[in-house]
Structure 1
Amino acid sequence: MFSAAKQWVTNMTGIGQGAISPEAFETFWSECTSIHADSPTRFYKEVLNKFQKQDRRDIHSLSDDSTYDPATKVRFVCTSDTHNQTDRYNFQVPDGDVLIHGGDFTQVGCVKEVEHFADWLDTLPHPIKIVIAGNHELSFDPMTASDPNIRERLIGRLHKSCTYLEDNSAVVSGIKIFGSPWQPLFGNWGYNLKRGEECAAKWKEIPDNTDILITHGPPIGHGDRVRNGIRAGCVDLLQEIQLRVKPQYHIFGHIHEDAGVTTDGQTTFINASMCTLRYKPEQYPVVFEMDKISEETILVSAPAEWNLSDPRKK
């Protein structure tokens, strides 16, 4: 068992050694006779950590001022988990073409916090800002919002300052971006899904041709280690990413204490949490560039395009 996966790890000696073949990921998952989707820590210890690498990268290695040309490249600035602490930053958010926020921009999703976040977005120079919700945005999740009208009002307020994605896409210079706020069950918060079938069904909605994936929660093994060593990431999300979606970048947050950048040789995973475990806004945004694919830019902004469905009601 895992013979091909073992050989793949043996050949993967470091970053920059070339892309991992799709066949290697297919072999790995086909030889996982028990996936342990409901027990991510067990899956990580018994399977993933033995037969896949999760190489850590320097956050500064993804961006290079000497090669950045706005005529041919798009600079993305990744943030997440600001938790209404933006007034306390002692550093400036880097400039760029697109700001991405991976959710948890509030503490509990109240009106005042959302307005404060939107006002902060308005101060930033980035021409395009793309935002998803997280588990702390209780007023955004239809199952935890106290009033559907509040949800629509707050999403409408955000759309004045950014492009809000909820299980839908935007296109920037031909680069396809998909955003989703969900994560496996995590306390009594918003956008919770049961591990296993519910999570697997949700991730199948991610389009095949996604270049940048934004979810609030991490996949198993990448930026998902909590303080006591437990893994909070989603097994089904990693499987969907490695076998089908294969994005160049996956941006998320949620687990403050494991912020940073990792790679599996195919996708670069960015935990962009800006607050520490103790909710201190001390962690820096992550910046990367991508080549422009085309001149096509489509920003989702019409309320009719919001995906208001809830998979837990199906």
Structure 2
Amino acid sequence: MASTAGIKTRICMISDTHTTSPYSPSEKEHAYRNPLPEADILLHSGDLTKVGYRTEHEETISMLKAAPAELKLVIAGNHDITLDEEYFLCTGYKKHRKTAYFGAKNIPLHKDEQTRLEAIKGGTIPPPPELLSYIRDIKDLYTNESARAAGIRYLDEGIHTFTLTSGAKFTVYASPYQPEFCNWAFAYHRNEDRFNLPAPGSTAPIPANPVPDFPSIDIMITHGPPAGVLDRVGDDRNKLEHVGCESLMRAAGRARPRLYLFGHIHEGWGAGSKEGGSASVSVKQERIPVDEKDMLEKQGVYLDISSEGERPLAFGDETLFVNASIVDIYYRPVHAPWVVDLDLPRG
């Protein structure tokens, strides 16, 4: 739908599904159930799997293909170890010793995966060519003709531009990376800034894929959260701690996107806004209120921040931040997708 502010576009957001399929339509006590909310765009901000086995990726691909959206943008997360080629070949393959999480059933494996797992447990290092072929076949699941025909686009770190059949044209900055955490994939040292150019005269290295300045991008998708927003770990019994990335927060302040999606911190599920269009402005800590009954009935939390909504987003002055982690800290799929209507530029 066209408006003076752009083209109203519906975006469904999920993250951290960890190979958990949506519940059946009859299980109405769960918001995360089939079919996923219909949208123009589906965004998934990583942790597609628990530990990156091909069988897990195949299940996730099936879920993505079935999702009712024209375009489905996907990034990896730290658990998707087979999508981080350098990491997996170096040390990540050792993570394949783990096939269950928090009492869940063991991940069903293909015969070659089971054979490799037994060899790794026995102390054998798989031949690099064998590992390379394996992980490239996995990435092909997201990039082959079948995936593209279903609207799936796998995003490596950097800038990507898309045009919908509605005529909306928008630009995304994507990154699967987050500060190092328990030796998982797509990690960087917390004191490394891979998102902002160094100050003039600085000897700091220039990042390969920095986030551009406003108004270059409309949407940011990263696996890890920026510092200070929906990034707290712990609970009421333990000390709450912010674990988001300061560099990402500075980059978001420069870029001022309309929407910023992330996950990684399961406890942080929710949405909030940042006003002022500057990295120095603090993010509102309170989550946007959620109507539980409405969420269960509609299978998601719906927000209309388009020009037709009651509270339109002021592009350049506000960013909507969403942590769309579907699972909780026990890997149970208890959270709902977020569904947002907002205006995107005309192509």
Helix, strand or coil at the partner of 1:267: strand
Aligned to 1:207: 212
1:106-137 deviation per Cα after TM superposition (whole angstroms, max 9, x unaligned) = 00111110011001111111111000000000
The percentage of counterpart residues that share the same residue type is 33
The equivalent position to 2:185 in structure 1, one of 190, 200, 208, is 190
Post-superposition Cα deviations, 1:48-84, rounded to whole Å, max 9, x if no partner, equal xxxxxxxxxxxxxxxxxx999xx93111000000000
Out of 233, 242, 251, the residue aligned to residue 240 of structure 1 is: 251
Between stretches 259-268 and 132-141, larger displacement belongs to 259-268
Q: Give the TM-score taking structure 2 as reference length.
A: 0.61
Q: Does 1:104 align with 2:39?
A: no
Is the partner of 2:81 in helix, strand or coil?
Answer: coil
Alignment RMSD (CA, Å): 2.2
Q: Which moved more, 1:270-279 or 1:151-160?
A: 151-160
Q: Is the 8 A contact 1:143 1:190 kept in 2?
A: no
Q: Is the 8 A contact 2:175 2:221 kept in 1?
A: yes
Letter in 2 for 1:263: S
Q: Distance in 1 between matches of 2:23 and 2:87?
A: 28
For structure 1, the residue ranges without an aligned partner over 5 or more in a row are 1-65, 296-314
1:290–1:116: structure 2 CA closer, same or farther, 3 Å change rule?
A: same
**Candidates 244, 262, 272, aligned match of 1:252:** 262
What is the match of residue 310 of structure 1? Answer: none
SS for the counterpart of 1:128 is: strand
- Runs of 5+ consecutive residues of structure 2 not aligned to the other structure: 25-29, 90-130, 196-205, 276-317
> 1:236 aligns to what SS in structure 2?
helix
How much does 1:276 deviate?
0.9
Provide closer, same or farther for how the CA distance between residues 272 and 202 of structure 1 changes in structure 2, counting only shifts above 3 A.
farther
Q: Is the 8 A contact 1:132 1:164 kept in 2?
A: yes
- Secondary structure (helix, strand or coil) at the match of 1:115 reads helix
Following the alignment from structure 2 to structure 1, what is the Cα–Cα distance between the partners of residues 133 and 64? Answer: 23
Decide which structure has greater helix share: 1
Is 1:171–2:188 an aligned residue pair?
no
- Aligned to 1:98, what secondary structure does the other structure show? strand
Alpha-carbon distance in 1 for matches of 2:2, 2:267: 31
Distance (Å, rounded) in 2 between the aligned partners of 1:246 and 1:100 = 19
Name the structure 2 match of 1:11. none
Question: Can you list the C-alpha shifts for 1:192-236, whole angstroms capped at 9, x where unaligned?
Answer: 100123445559622331110000000001111001411110011
Question: Counterpart amino acid of 1:112?
Answer: T
Cα distance in 2 between the residues matched to 1:72 and 1:248: 13
Secondary structure of 1:148's counterpart equals helix
Is the CA contact (8 Å cut-off) linking 2:7 and 2:346 kept in structure 1? no
- Corresponding residue for 1:142? 85
Asked whether the equivalents of residues 249 and 269 of structure 1 are also in contact (C-alpha less than 8 Å), the reply is yes
- Work out which of the two has the higher radius of gyration on C-alpha atoms and give 1 or 2: 2
| Aligned residue among 226, 229, 234 for 1:222 | 229
Between the two proteins, the alignment pairs up a number of residues equal to 227
**Alpha-carbon distance in 2 for matches of 1:149, 1:180:** 24
Match of 2:273 in 1: 263
1:82 maps to what in 2?
17
Deviations 1:236-263 (A, max 9, x none): 1101111x21111110000001110011
8 A Cα contact 2:77 2:186, kept in partner:
yes
Alpha-carbon distance in 1 for matches of 2:343, 2:208: 26
**Structure 2 counterpart SS, 1:144:** helix
Q: Higher strand proportion, which one?
A: 2
The amino acid across from 1:261 in the alignment is A
Following TM superposition, the consecutive aligned residue runs of length 4 or more in structure 1 with deviations greater than 3 angstroms are 87-90, 198-204
Deviation by residue 1:12-60 (Cα, 9 ceiling, x = unmatched): xxxxxxxxxxxxxxxxxxxxxxxxxxxxxxxxxxxxxxxxxxxxxxxxx
Alignment of 1:1-314 (within 5 A): 72-88=7-23, 90=30, 91-92=33-34, 93-146=36-89, 147-159=131-143, 160-161=146-147, 162-168=152-158, 169-172=160-163, 173-200=168-195, 202=207, 205-208=210-213, 209-227=216-234, 228-242=239-253, 244-265=254-275, 266-295=318-347
DSSP-derived class of the 1:86 partner: coil
TM-score normalized by the length of structure 1: 0.67
